[in-house]
Amino acid sequence: MLLYNQQNQDHKEVKILLEKLKYDNKVSESFLLADNSSNKFFNTIQRLLGFVPSWMKAFAKGYFRSLPFYSPEFIAKFEQKDVYRIFLNQIDVQGKLYNREPVHQSLYLWSKSLLPNHILRMFADGSEMAHSIEGRLPFLDHKVVELVQNIPVSMKIRGLTEKYILREAAKPFITETIYNRQKHPFLTPPSTLKPNEPLQEIVQDTLRSSEMSHVPFYNHAAIIDLLDQLPNMDESELSSVDVVLMKMLSAYFLQQRFGLV
Please give the full DSSP string across 47-92, using - where no structure is assigned. Answer: HHHSS--HHHHHHHHHHHHHGGGB-HHHHHHHTT--HHHHHHTTS-
Residue 29 has pLDDT above 60, yes or no: no
Q: pTM of this prediction?
A: 0.78
Question: Based on the domain organization, do 124 and 172 belong to the same domain?
Answer: yes
> Which pLDDT score is estimated for 211?
94
Secondary structure class of 154 (helix, strand, coil): helix
186 in any annotated domain: no
Residue 45 has pLDDT above 80, yes or no: yes
Q: How many domains does the chain have?
A: 3
> Which pLDDT score is estimated for 204?
96
Structural domain boundaries enclosing 7? 1-25
Question: Based on the domain organization, do 88 and 173 belong to the same domain?
Answer: yes
pLDDT, tens digit, 9 for 90 and up, residues 99-126: 888 889 999 999 999 888 887 777 766 7
pLDDT, tens digit, 9 for 90 and up, residues 113-171: 988 888 777 776 677 777 887 776 667 678 888 888 888 888 988 877 888 999 999 99
> Which pLDDT score is estimated for 32?
56
Question: Based on the domain organization, do 56 and 3 belong to the same domain?
Answer: no
CB of 213 closer than 8 Å to CB of 1: no
Nearest to 113 by CA among 64, 261, 105, 95: 105
pLDDT band at 176 (very low <50, low <70, confident <90, very high): very high
Question: Based on the domain organization, do 252 and 239 belong to the same domain?
Answer: yes
Q: Give every CB contact of residue 224 below 8 A, 6+ residues apart in sequence.
A: 207, 208
